[in-house]
Amino acid sequence: MTRKRITELFPWLIPLRTWQRKLFFYLGMKFDHNRYTSASCPELLPVEVFSSGCPLYNQDTGFDMIYQENKVHNLKLAAAAIDHMLIRPGETFSFCLATRHADRREPYREGLTVINGKLTTACGGGMCQLSNLLFWVFLHSPLTIVERHGHGSKDFPEPPSDALFGVDATLAEGWKDLKVRNDTDSTFQIRITFDNEQIHGYLHTDREDPLCYTVSNGPVTYYRRQDTVWEEVDVIQTLTDQKSGNIQETRILYRNRCRIGYTLPEGTRIIET
């Protein structure tokens, strides 16, 4: 039998526990000897490294669309905090730190999120769409991924985008963050824009990179274990010389594994284990 958390036994302790975790979370960053990004520049750096976009609204969540509208509101607040932010040589970008006060003037709204393994609603929900997008963009650059946490489950189908299977980055302020470090001599810059239907993410830099970074999937496997369907896939990065076109390196970055909480398309092969 799984032991319950103390906050499950005494729910009234949750606000205190959350405050404690956030306090030590940010204190840890203050004293961990990393230089975190804080500067922005209104002018874009000249070289676009990579860009991507994804739909803002998902019709297949099973929840009222008001939570999609609220999510877009939350995304725009967070995006305003990191738009045009610079990641200079030796600096580390922390999503949570960069967006810590994004709701200072206007509060976040109730959006979809996962709490204790269950899809529900909470203030600030839906922020993972922005961290997912940034992570996908960062993978196409020489930035070093310092911290990334995959979602433990997919509770509804994602709307179509150019992102691959297993490329996501969940957030939980005080617990989980998305961090990348700039170990190069170049400066990078984040750009986030919106139109009526999509959010767009861009990464710019101040000089051309001799290498091109591409990302691909290995075979996607679905298997059923104890009445639960799981998805497993490798995320692979390939480094190619821009001039010669020769592949310099191919590496498996990680193997992503998550529970599938919706019905897969008819004909999907599921291995019984």
261 in a structural domain? no
- The residues, ordered by sequence, that sit 6+ positions from 66 with a Cβ below 8 Å of its Cβ are none
Extended strands (E) in 195-227: 198-205, 211-217, 221-225
Percent of the chain with pLDDT over 70: 97
For residue 49, give its domain range: 18-209
Residue 263 lies in a domain: no
**Contact residues for 124 (Cβ-Cβ < 8 A; gap 6+):** 74, 103, 108, 109, 111, 113
The mean per-residue pLDDT over the stretch 51-67 comes to 94
93 is a domain residue: yes
Residue 230 maps to a domain: no
Average pLDDT value over all residues in the chain: 93
Residue 16, pLDDT above cutoff 90: no
pLDDT digits (tens, 9 = 90+) for 67-112: 999 999 999 999 999 999 999 999 999 999 999 999 999 999 999 9
pLDDT at 2: 63
Domains in the chain, number = 1
CB 51 within 8 A of CB 202: yes
For the entire predicted model, the pTM comes to 0.93
90 Cβ neighbours under 8 A, 6+ residues apart: 35, 181, 182, 183
Q: How far is CA 58 from CA 14, 97, 233, in A?
A: 30, 27, 23
How many Cβ atoms sit within 10 Å of the Cβ of residue 109?
20
For residues 189-194, give the mean pLDDT.
98
Q: What is the pLDDT of residue 266?
A: 92
Whether the pLDDT of residue 17 is over 90: the answer is no
Residue 104 in any domain: the answer is: yes
Q: Give the residues across from 114 on adjacent strands.
A: 119
Residue 8: inside a domain, yes or no? Answer: no
pLDDT tens readout for residues 138-183: 999 999 999 999 999 999 988 888 889 999 999 999 999 999 999 9
Q: What are residue 49's phi and psi, to 5 degrees?
A: -80, -50
Higher-confidence position of 178 and 121: 178
Evaluate whether residue 229 is within a structural domain: no
**Spatial distance between the Cα atoms of 230 and 180, rounded to a whole number of angstroms:** 28
DSSP symbols for 233-246: EEEEEEEEETTT--
Any domain includes 244: no
